[in-house]
A and B are shown apart, each in its own frame.
Chain A
Amino acid sequence: MSGVNDFAFKMATVNGTGSASANGLLMQAIFRMGIPVSGKNIFPSNIQGLPTWYEIRVSRDGYTARPEAVDLVVALNTGTYAQDVAAVRPGGYLVYDGSWPLDGELLRDDITILPVPFGQMCVEAFEGDRTRTLLRNIVYTGTLSALLDIDMAVIEEMLKEKFAKKKSLLDANFKAIEMGYEYARKQFSCPLPFHLKKMDATGGSIVIDGNTAAALGCVYAGATVGAWYPITPSTSLMEAYKDFCERFRVDRETGEKKYALIQAEDELAAAGMIIGAGWAGARSFTSTAGPGISLMEEFIGLAYYAEVPAVFFDIQRTGPSTGMPTRTQQGDILATAYASHGDTKHLCLYPSDPRECFYMASEAFDLAERYQTPVFVLSDLDIGMNDWVVPRLTWDDAYVPDRGKVLSAQALEQMTTKFSRYLDVDGDGIAARTLPGVHPKGAYFTRGSGHDKYGTYTEDAAAYQEVVDRLARKINGAARAVPAPEFHLQKGAEVGIVSIGGCHAAVLEATHRLKAQGIPADYMRIRAFPFDTPVEDFLRRHKTVFVVEQNRDAQLRALLTLETGVVRDHMIPVLDYGGLPLTAQRVVDAVVQHVHQGTAV
C-alpha cells in the first residue's frame, strides 16, 4: 500500500542527543517539496537519556493521522532495538548504526536491513563527543535523503537558513549530510520503492504547532494578561505568547510592554490572576494541562458564580494524576464541562488542529466576555506540540472584540436607577457588568458567597435560586453561540460517527476508508459545549452511532447522555487511550467489527 508520496517512516533515538531538530528538518524539507506530511514526536518526560521516536507520514492525499504501519525505521537507540526492528512492516526496511553489529536474534528475513556506520563515520570526520553525537543525526538525514529522494537543494537551503550566522556549524552540517547521502548512494539501491516526488500541494499552507497558533490567536484577540505555571504539554503556549508579544507588543521607542505575563507560583494563583485581570477588564488567559485544571477548580467556580470572564487553554495529556505527561489524551472533557463544586457548567471549545486553535482563541475571548464566564479551549498534546501542515491563517482586520455588556462611564452617569450587578434587564440571562475605576455609580461587591440579583449577600432560598437559575439559562443559551458542529455527510449513510478535537484527522480518513469498503458513514465533529439541538438531531437520525474519543471512560458519550435526551446505549464507544495519537485503522476496525456482528446497518 505504500508508494510514491505515500508511506511512513520513523526515527528511534535517545532524547537529548539533538535528534529533534534533525527530524524537524526532515519533515519541513518534505513540506517544502510540496508534499503533504505530518510529524509526530513521541517523547519521554525527561531531559536526556530515554527513548524517543519521531514518526513522519507522507500522504499525497493529505491524510495527517498517525500511520498504523511503518515502512522504514531508522534505529539509533540500542535500548529499543527489539521493538524498533519489530515495528517495521513486512517488506519494509530497517536502517541501523552498523558501527556495532546487530544482535543476531533481532534479524528478520521479511525486511531489508541496511547498516550504516553512522557512529564510526562521525568519529572519523569530527572532533569532540558532543559534536559527533549531534552530527550523527545530520548524517542519517543525509542517508534518508538518498533513500527517499529528498531534494538536497531544499535540505541545503534549510541548513543555510538555520546556520546563517554560524559558518563553522554550517560547514560541518554540510559535510555530515554529504557523508550520509554518499554512503547510501554507494551501498544501496536508491531510492527505495517508496520515496518522494515533488508536488504542489503545500503552497498555501504553513507548518505550525497548536500551542504556537493558540498563542498567536491570543495576541490577535487582544489578550493583555497571561498567567501560568509551567506544565507539559502547555508550556510552549505561553512561551510563544511571550515571543509574539516581544515582537508585536513592545513600544519600539520606550520599551514599554503592552501586555503582562506572570509566571505564577502554582496553577491556583494563575487562575486567580486571570480572574482578577478579567474582573478589572483585561482579556486574560492561562495555559495548563489536567493537573492544573484540578488545582484551578475552586477559582473556576468563583468565576462562574461571580460571572468573571477568563480563558483557560487545557492542553490535555494522559491522566489521571501525573499520568504520562508527554502522551496525549482527551481525558478532561468531563472535568472541564462541570469544573468546580456545586452546580456549574462551562463553555468549552474543542479545536481539532493548530489552525482551529488560532481561530478558537479569539472566539473563546469573545464568548468569555459576552457570557461573563470561564471558557475552556481543550487542545491536546498532539495538536499542541506537534508540527502540523495547515492552510495559512488569515485575520479579518474588521474584527471588533465582543466585550459583552460592560457599562461605560457615560452610561453609568446617565443611569437613573441604581446599578445592580446581577439584574437581567433584557431577559437573555446576561446582566450588565461594570469595571472598577470607571464611575462611582458602577461600584458593586463581587463575591463567591450567596448573592441575590442585586449583588447583595443572601442566605434566602428564593433569592439564591433566582440567580443560579438565571446562570443556568445564560450558559444553556450559549449553546447557540458556540462553534457549531461540523458535518461530513455521505449518501445513504445509516451509521453515524461522532468525534471531537484531535481525533478528527483519523476519523475523517476512516470514513473515506469505510466508504471504500461499502460502509458509508456520516460524521459529526463536535466543536463546542454546551450542545445545541443539531447535536441531538444527529444522534437520533442514525440507527447506529459510534462515539470516537481518546479516554477510557467514554467521557464525550457520557456528556452526550447527560446533556441530550439520547440514551447511553444508543451510542457505541470507540475508545483509544494509550497516549498516542489515534490511527484511522483503529476507527475502521471498530466500525467494521460492529457492522459484521450484524447488530447494526
Chain B
Amino acid sequence: MTSILKPPVIHPSLPKNALGLTRRDYEGAMSTLCAGCGHDSVTAALVQAFWELDVPPHRAAKMSGIGCSSKTTAYFMRQSHGFNGVHGRMPSLATGANAANRDLVYVGVSGDGDSLSIGLGQLCHAIRRSVNLLYVLENNGVYGLTKGQFSASADVGSTSKKGEANEQPPIDPVLLALSLGATFVGRSFSGDKAQLVPILKAALRHRGFAFVDVISPCVSFNDHVGSTKSYRYTREHYESLAPVDFVPVRQEITAAQDAAVTTVRMHDGSLVRFRKTDDTYDPTDRDAAYAHVRKHQEVGEIVTGLLYIDEDARDLHALNHTATTPLVDLPYADLCPGNTALQALQDEYR
C-alpha cells in the first residue's frame, strides 16, 4: 500500500523475509482512497502479515466485491492474482476459486455495505461452508463511494455527516460470525497495527473461514463528532482483549513460555498465544466469546482481539473429501472415464 507514488527503488538495507523479499515486494498499486482512510492502514497490515509469513505473493489470491474496501486488493501484493467481482458476491467467487485450487492462500477484503447488506447471504453461507479464506471486513458504518449513506453496521444514534441519526439497529458482524459457526473470529482497529497484524497472521494460517472485522474509519463521511465509527470514538471505546502473538512453526522452539499466556496450537503446528488480561476469558469457548462481546457492547465498549478460534474444525475440502491435489492440477486422463466405460454404462440404459 501507498497513498503516494513511491520510487521503484528498494533500499538494500530493507529487511528480507525467508523468501528474500522485502515488504516493498508485497505492496501493490498506489491507493486511490482518501488520505487518512482506515483502509490504507489495513492494507499496510496485510502487507506486513503476508511478508512476515513468507507467503510467496503469486501463491496468494485476492478476492473482493465492490466499494472502497474492495478496491484495496489492488493496493497490496502486485504479484498476486486479484479478482474484483460484483457487489456483495466475493464469497461465491472465493468459494469457487478455492474449490478449484485449494493450495492458494485466499484473502477476501470486503466492507460493511458489501458484507452486511447486499452480500449478507453470501457471507453467511461462506461461513457455513467453512471456505478456507481470510475474510477481512473493513467496517466504517457508511457508504463511501455513494457519499455518506448509513450502512447496516451503523449504530443506533450514530449521526451522519449531515446530522441525521440512525434509528435502525445494526448488524454486528462479529456476533453474526460467532452465531453462524465461524471457526476464527477477530475484531480489530485499523489504528492498532500491533494488534491487527498478529490477528491477520493467525487468520491466514487458520484452516477454514477466518473472519476479521476491522473498524476502519471513513475520514470523508464518518469521522465527525456524533459518529460511532470515527477514529476518536473508536479509541475512546476500545477494549483490547488478550493481546495476541502469532508464532510460526519454525519459531516454536525459541518462543518463551509464560504463565500468563494461553496457547492455541494451529493445524500446521504454529501457535497463537494470548497474553491474558482477563483470567476468565477462554478464546475456544464460543458462547463465552459471544457473551463477552455483548456484555461490553451494552456499556458502549468495542471489544477487540482474537475473540474465538477452533482449530479442530473441518474446512470445505475436508467436508467434501476433495482430492488433496488441487482439482486444477488433476490430469484430464484422471477425469475422463473413457469410451470403454461409456459403453459398459450404457448397457444399463435400456
Determine the distance from Cα of A52 to Cα of B129 in the docked complex, in whole angstroms.
Answer: 38
- List A contacts of B86 (CB < 8 A): 272, 298-299, 302, 448
Q: Is the CB of B99 within 8 A of A443?
A: no
Contact B85 A262, beta carbon cutoff 8 Å: no
What's the Cα separation between A256 and B327 when bound, in Å? 11
B58 touches A280 (CB 8 A): no
Instruction: Give chain B residues whose Cβ lies under 8 Å from the Cβ of A439.
Output: 58
Interface of B is mostly: helix
Contact partners of B79 in chain A: CB under 8 A: 440, 443
Most chain A CB inside 10 Å of its own CB: which residue of B80, B96, B320: B96
B338/A437 in contact, CB under 8 A: no
**A149 on the interface (CB 8 Å rule)?**
no
Q: Is B233 an interface residue (CB 8 A)?
A: no
Q: Which of A12-20, A174-182, A222-230, A578-586 contacts B (4 or more CB under 8 A)?
A: A222-230
Q: Are B99 and A262 in contact (CB under 8 A)?
A: yes
B265: Cβ under 8 A from any A Cβ: no
User: Which residues of chain B (318-342) have a CB below 8 Å from chain A?
Assistant: 320-324, 327-328, 330, 332, 334-339, 341-342
A302-B85, A437-B103 known; A393-B121 Cβ under 8 A: no
Residues B92 and A443 in contact, CB atoms below 8 Å apart: no
Contact B58 A225 (CB under 8 A): no
B33: interface (CB < 8 Å): no
CB atoms of A272 and B85 under 8 A apart: yes
Quick one: CB contact mask for A250-291 with B, threshold 8 Å, 1 for yes? 010001111111101110111111111111111010000000
30 contacts between A and B (CB under 8 A): A206-B349, A219-B337, A220-B336, A225-B96, A225-B327, A249-B335, A258-B330, A258-B334, A258-B335, A259-B322, A260-B317, A264-B92, A272-B93, A272-B122, A273-B95, A276-B83, A276-B93, A277-B97, A279-B93, A281-B328, A284-B96, A392-B346, A396-B339, A399-B336, A400-B332, A435-B328, A436-B81, A437-B103, A443-B57, A445-B29
Query: Are B323 and A256 in touch, CB under 8 angstroms?
Result: yes
Min CB distance B107 to A, Å, is 12
Chain A residues with Cβ below 8 Å from B122 are 265, 268-269, 272
Task: State the CA gap A446–B86 with chains docked (Å).
Answer: 11
**Which 6 pairs of residues, A with B, have the shortest CB-CB distance?**
A272-B92, A276-B96, A282-B100, A436-B81, A273-B96, A276-B93
User: Chain B's nearest CB lies how many Å from the CB of A417?
Assistant: 16
Q: Which residues of B contact A275 (CB under 8 A)?
A: 85, 93, 96
A151 to chain B, nearest CB (A): 14
Please give the residue numbers on chain A whose beta carbons come within 8 Å of chain B beta carbons, in ascending order.
Answer: 28, 31-32, 206-208, 216, 219-222, 224-225, 227, 248-249, 251, 255-262, 264-266, 268-282, 284, 298-299, 302, 306, 392-397, 399-401, 434-440, 442-449, 457
| A393 vs B347: C-alpha distance when bound (angstroms) | 11
Count of B residues near A, CB < 8 Å?
60
Alpha-carbon gap, A333 to B224, bound state (A): 52
B101 touches A397 (CB 8 A): no
> Is B205 engaged at the interface, CB distance under 8 Å to the other chain?
no
Bits for B296-330, please: 1 = Cβ < 8 Å to A, else 0.
Answer: 00000000000000000000010011111001101
Cβ–Cβ < 8 Å partners of B89 in chain A: 268-269, 272, 298-299
Residues of A within 8 A of B185 (CB): none
- B84 CB within 8 Å of chain A: yes
Whether the Cβ atoms of B337 and A282 lie closer than 8 Å is: no
Inter-chain CA distance A13–B168, complex, in Å, is: 53
A185 to B324: give the CA distance in the assembly, Å: 63
**For B327, what are the chain A residues with a Cβ–Cβ distance below 8 Å?**
224-225, 258-260, 282
| Distance between Cα atoms of A282 and B97 in the complex (Å) | 8
Q: How far is the CA of A298 from the CA of B91 in the complex (A)?
A: 15
Tell me the complex Cα distance, A401–B89, Å.
30
CA distance A144 to B89 in the complex (A): 55
Known contacts A206-B350, A220-B342, A436-B101, A445 near B96 by CB under 8 Å: no
| Bound-state Cα–Cα, A439 to B59, Å | 8
In the complex, A298 Cα to B80 Cα: how many Å? Answer: 25
Q: How far is B174's CA from A546's CA once the two chains are assembled, in angstroms?
A: 62
Verify A395–B350 contact, CB threshold 8 A: no
Tell whether, in the assembled complex, residue A448 and residue B99 are in contact, meaning their CB atoms are under 8 Å apart: no
Question: B61, A260: Cβ atoms under 8 Å?
Answer: no
Q: Is the CB of A274 within 8 A of B96?
A: yes
In the complex the two chains form, is A258's CB within 8 Å of B323's CB?
A: yes
Q: Is B276 an interface residue (CB 8 A)?
A: no
Closest chain B CB from A388 CB (angstroms): 11
Which residues of chain A come closer than 8 Å to B82, judged between CB atoms?
443-447
Q: Are B335 and A222 in contact (CB under 8 A)?
A: yes
Whether the Cβ atoms of B59 and A437 lie closer than 8 Å is: yes
**Which residues of B85-139 are within 8 A (CB) of A?**
85-86, 89, 91-101, 103-104, 121-122, 124-125, 129
When chains A and B are docked, how far (Å) is the Cα of A443 from the Cα of B104?
Answer: 13
Taking CB atoms, residues of chain B closer than 8 Å to A28 are 350
Instruction: Tell me which residues from 277 to 296 in chain B have a Cβ below 8 Å from any Cβ of chain A.
Output: none
CB of A257 within 8 A of CB of B323, answer yes
Contact A277 B100 (CB under 8 A): yes
Chain A nearest CB from B303 CB (Å) reads 29
In this complex, which of B79, B101, B320, B341 has the most chain A Cβ atoms within 10 angstroms of its Cβ? Answer: B101
B100 touches A393 (CB 8 A): no
Whether the Cβ atoms of B96 and A449 lie closer than 8 Å is no
Other than the given A280-B98, A444-B82, 13 more pairs (CB < 8 A) read: A31-B350, A227-B96, A273-B99, A276-B98, A276-B100, A277-B96, A280-B100, A280-B328, A282-B327, A298-B89, A436-B80, A445-B29, A446-B83
Q: List, in ascending order, chain A residues with CB within 8 A of B63's CB.
A: 276
The reply to whether the CB of B74 lies closer than 8 angstroms to some CB of chain A is yes
Cα–Cα, bound, A302→B85 (Å): 7
In the assembled complex, the Cα of A206 lies from the Cα of B82 at a distance in Å of 47
Residues of A within 8 A of B322 (CB): 256-257, 259-260
- Find chain A residues with CB under 8 A from B92 CB: 227, 264, 268-273, 276
Nearest B residue to A202, CB-CB: B350
Interfacial chain A residues near B337, Cβ < 8 Å: 219-220, 248
Residues of B within 8 A of A273 (CB): 92-93, 95-96, 99
CB-nearest residue of chain A to B74: A445
Task: Point out the residue from B74, B125, B321, B343 that lies within 8 Å of A269, measured CB to CB.
Answer: B125
Measured CA separation A274–B78 after assembly (Å): 25
CA distance A182 to B104 in the complex (A): 68
List the A residue with the shortest CB-CB distance to B61.
A436
A220 to B345, CA, bound (A): 13
Distance to closest chain A CB from B43 (angstroms): 14
Min Cβ gap A26→B in Å is 14
Asked whether, in the complex, the Cβ of B328 is within 8 Å of the Cβ of A282, the reply is yes
Do residues A448 and B338 form an inter-chain contact, with CB atoms below 8 A?
no
**Contact in complex: B346, A224 (CB < 8 Å):** no
- Residues from chain A with Cβ under 8 Å of B94 in the complex: 276
B58 touches A440 (CB 8 A): yes
Closest to A281 in B: B328
A207 in contact with B342 given A275-B93, A437-B81, A448-B85 (CB within 8 Å): no
The smallest C-beta distance from B350 to any residue of chain A, in angstroms, reads 6
Closest Cβ–Cβ distance, residue B133 to chain A (whole Å): 11
Q: Is B349 within 8 A of A262, CB to CB?
A: no
Whether the pair A265, B335 counts as a contact (CB closer than 8 A) is no
Q: How far is the CB of B225 from chain A (nearest CB, A)?
A: 34
Please measure, in the bound complex, the distance between the C-alpha atom of A366 and the C-alpha atom of B294, giving whole angstroms. Answer: 53
Q: Which residue of chain B has the shortest Cβ distance to A451 in the bound complex?
A: B84
Q: Which residues of A contact B58 (CB under 8 A)?
A: 436-440, 442-443
Residue pair B339, A279 in contact (C-beta under 8 Å): no
Q: How far is the CA of A277 from the CA of B83 in the complex (A)?
A: 12
Q: State whether A260 touches B99 (Cβ < 8 A).
A: yes
- Interfacial chain A residues near B336, Cβ < 8 Å: 219-222, 395, 399
By a CB distance below 8 angstroms, the chain A residues around B342 are 216, 220, 393-395
Nearest Cβ on chain B to A148's Cβ, whole angstroms? 20
In the bound complex, CA of A399 to CA of B84 (Å): 35
